[in-house]
A and B are shown apart, each in its own frame.
Chain A
Amino acid sequence: MNDDERGTRLKRAAADVGGAAERLPHGRPGAGTVRVTVARSASDSTRTFEVRRHEPMMVLDLLLAIQREHDPSIGFRFSCRVAMCGTCTLRLDGTTVLACQTPVPVDRDAVVLEPMAGLPVVRDLIVDTTAFWEQWARVTPYLVPVEGLDEPARLPQGSPERELIDPSLDCITCGACYSSCGIADAGRDFLGPAALNRAMVLIADSRDDAAEQRLNAISAAGGIDRCHYIYGCTAACPKGLDPAGAIRRLRRWRRTGVPEPRVAPGGPASDALAPTGETPEELA
């Protein structure tokens, strides 16, 4: 992906969180309070809090305010607070978001926070992500290097392979797509959008030697055929990735075979992937 595409993608991500649309006063306390209802595990826990607003205020700030000023026992998780770790995923009024990069809606005086869908709750807003990672592991998510490659990643930035792969990197494994996918939610065996996106990237990667194994995994029960193209995943991705597009591409590859240029085992990638001057249909 070149800088332009990356710019467009991130701009979209920025617009999605509403930051561009609603200009907020900088650093000044906002007016009034917001009523926050939190799904709690223990039946005797407080569920509703009147939280003082300040601006800017992310959903994560709501939770920190509850923890510090209302109920220190509230369970939620976060780490980096800048949309890189992918651990603060939850549902805000039913929509899966990253708490750290989602502003508290200025036009609502009450919000509901629930744990992400499709995974068992550990406590309050904390879920057990084991199932998500089990599916991830099923696609052989790591590079299986082709033998004898000297500098296998020697792919020009504008090469068809990089154009295909680059927009699909940057997955932060936050699980927002998994939570937003009706099928991953309902069936325990669906690989889910994130794992399939990862599979697509590795199958396209000429440094990798396990494409066949992965194609088998995604074609088996629980694979790409379970997807019904609800597009919840692509809509939810906080990084602007398109897992639904990745799944569509995998289906096409199953039908037509994985497009060349892929590196011949043992050969230097730079030769096998010399720019051809045109983008094969399947790569687009």
Chain B
Amino acid sequence: MTRHDELGTDIAIVGSGGAGLMCALHAARAAPELRIAVVSKGAVGRSGCTRMVQGGFNAVLDPGDSIERHFMDTLEGGKFLNDQELAWTLVGDAPRVIHELETVVGCFFDRDEHGRIRQKAFAGQAFDRTVHRGDLTGIEIMGRLRDQMFRIRPVELEDVRALDLVLDGDGEVAGVTTLDVRTGAFGVLRARVVVMATGGAATMYRIASPAREKTGDGVAMCYRVGLPLRDMEMMQFHPTGLLAGESRMTGAVLEEGLRGAGAYLRNAHGERYMERYDPERMERSTRDLVARASYSEIMKGRGTPEGGVTIDISHLGAEEVERRFAGMVARTRQIGSDLAREPVVVSPTAHYHMGGAIIDRDCRTRIPGLLVAGEDAGGVHGANRLGGNGVADSTVYGARAGDTAAALAPERPLGRPDPAQADASFRRALEPLRREDGIAPFGLTRRLKDAMWEGCGVVRDRVGLIEASRQLDELEAALDTVAVPGPVASNYSWQEALDLRNQLTVARAVLAAALAREESRGAHFRSDFPAADNERWLRYVVVERDEDGMPRVDTAPVDLSRAAPPAETAA
């Protein structure tokens, strides 16, 4: 058996973003006597993407608004692929969670002159319901949630990555294997309940917005122990990611509010090309449509030399732009451009994964004791997520996972992980470190990003998807030759190799689902099947791991339990 430490806890939470920390907070409040451990690959409360939320949080607070309207906006945005019970729960809980974030967690949100929360307009919504704090909403929410940890004092396993879920002899969850990034020490964290809340996998694309930690770890771990995944083909591209050459800034989002405020998108010929794609809404159209329009312009040779289009809001006047979009102006100036005074080059950027593990409204999965919350779960957003529903999802479902975990933990024994599973997990993680000669992981990561961008990006077809699958075969084979020289402690090349393994696992599932869905819906656009097909495809794609470790694809009908789509739903 590989040397390792062992630790026991009642509730193990993997991930420390909005979902993970809300989960900890709720579990601690529901059952203060329970021991909680938060496992975080990066700094607790400062990794992942809730932190990076600019726009805000959709919640029904105004008497003129209604839960039903928010629900219908969410379904229409999701092209009716959503799990309706999950979407209903999201919109129903959101007002309560906003209230809790203020009164218990201590967040400040922008308010109007009467003291009421100021809600702003976001694309695809029938009411101004996006709660925010300037354009740094995520910092406020995550900063305050992080502070709450000093009150409830969970065990913080910071800079510790979860490697694999481990089950007991009965197939129930028993804990996770871990690797301490700082020291290189392995561990087994035994638990009564495990909550998976690591965030999505959009970083598998060449141009991508998320933080570095988001390499699909949670979904990959769930998949490896046999959980079914849904909607994996649904990867959201935000239309306006920065292009900054080789700089890591490339892919960082320029916020949605720019288009709302009247920014123009133009191709290299200076044409406002949205006229051809959505003449009525123009730049204010939904994320999926705008991203696809920009992508088409670039692919048809009407892009800028950098491979993008331009966003221009300078007609509002430099002072006005600086006042309203200070953070975005600063971001562009940093890369030698100036949003306040000139067009800025942008491209669609991979942003958010709607797909993930299948859960019920209490975050339970098919495996007893294993809960999933936030971006690791699928079904809430269907085929396309509305701006402002992301942080709502992570906090609403994080809170629910915490409540469920607190109720469940006392009923369950402390997990007894199968030692063979744990040891296999350690040995697999050690492979790249033990290899004497081999290639560095970085080139492979880049190849994965290129393969997914080109073969499974904004616009897809069968030929491209099959080519991307072939490249994934090569990359998987190459992964077995990766070597990471250096120490076991703080060796980020080693971490990259481990990240890459999870990214490849998730990429496989994305490709399999994208091949299966022979129609276009929301974020999934097939140029060989360009129309939505409600007759055949009001179904969600389920991907599961077969005996050989390869994805097995099935479909199931969407349960239209609360609302049916209008007769003609556009793609």
Contacts and interface: CB of A to CB of B under 8 A. Distances in A.
Interface in A224-276: 270
Interface in A169-197: 169-173
A6 to B, nearest CB: 6
A212 interface: no
B148 interface: yes
Contacts of B48: 79
B490 A20 contact: no
A67 B492 contact: yes
A56 B106 contact: no
B151 A142 contact: yes
A117 to B, nearest CB: 19
A225 B136 CA distance: 32
B447 interface: no
Contact of A26 (B46, B107, B111, B245): B245
A277 interface: no
A120 interface: no
A122 to B, nearest CB: 6
Contacts, number: 237
B529 to A, nearest CB: 35
B102 A142 contact: no
B111 A7 contact: no
A7 B330 CA distance: 10
A170 B141 CA distance: 10
B337 interface: yes
Interface string A1-21: 101101101110110010110
A80 B142 CA distance: 13
Contact of A156 (B112, B133, B138): B112
A122 B489 CA distance: 9
Given A78-B212, A162-B111, A173-B143, A64 B52 contact: no
A200 interface: no
B247 A151 contact: no
B446 to A, nearest CB: 9
Interface stretch (B321-329, B350-358, B469-477): B321-329
A85 B334 contact: no
B17 to A, nearest CB: 11
B285 interface: no
A198 B113 CA distance: 25
Given A149-B103, A156-B111, A157-B113, A75 B490 contact: yes
Contact of B336 (A25, A67, A77): A25
B248 A100 contact: yes
Q: How large is the interface on B (under 10, 10 to 19, 20 to 34, 35 or more residues)?
A: 35 or more
B140 interface: yes
Most buried by A among B139, B140, B306: B139
Contacts of B134: 1, 3, 6, 170
A82 interface: yes
A120 to B, nearest CB: 12
B103 A26 contact: no
Contacts of B51: 79-80, 84-85
B335 interface: yes
A8 to B, nearest CB: 8
Given A54-B245, A79-B212, A157 B112 contact: yes
A73 B43 CA distance: 20
B450 to A, nearest CB: 15
Nearest to B344: A26
Contacts of A166: 108
B185 interface: no
Looking at chain A's contact residues, the main secondary structure is loop
Interface stretch (B114-122, B410-418, B517-525): B114-122
Contact of B140 (A87, A100, A103, A170): A170
Given A27-B306, A173-B143, A155 B111 contact: yes
Contacts of B211: 79-81, 85
A143 B489 CA distance: 36
A123 interface: yes
A208 B105 CA distance: 11
A61 interface: yes
A170 B147 contact: no
Given A11-B329, A156-B113, A158-B113, A82 B336 contact: no
A116 interface: no
Interface in B82-110: 99, 102-110
A205 B140 CA distance: 15
Contacts of A7: 322-324, 326
Interface stretch (B26-34, B479-487, B562-570): B479-487
A94 interface: no
B108 A141 contact: no
B109 A85 contact: no
Contact of B106 (A9, A75, A122, A208): A208
Contacts of A141: 147, 150
Contact of A85 (B43, B148, B323, B487): B43
Contacts of B487: 42, 73, 123
B345 interface: yes
Nearest to A65: B246
Nearest to B326: A10
Interface of B: 42-43, 46-49, 51-52, 99, 102-116, 118, 133-134, 136, 138-140, 143-144, 146-148, 150-151, 182, 211-213, 243-249, 252, 306, 322-324, 326-327, 329-331, 333-338, 345, 440, 442, 484-487, 489-493
Interface of A: 1, 3-4, 6-7, 9-11, 13-14, 17, 19-20, 22-29, 42, 54-58, 60-61, 64, 67-68, 72-73, 75-82, 84-87, 100-101, 103, 122-124, 126, 129, 136-137, 140-143, 145, 149, 151-159, 162, 165-166, 169-173, 198, 202, 205, 207-208, 270
Given A154-B111, A208-B106, 15 more contacts: A10-B327, A57-B247, A72-B493, A78-B212, A79-B51, A81-B248, A84-B52, A141-B150, A142-B148, A142-B151, A154-B116, A157-B111, A165-B108, A169-B140, A207-B106
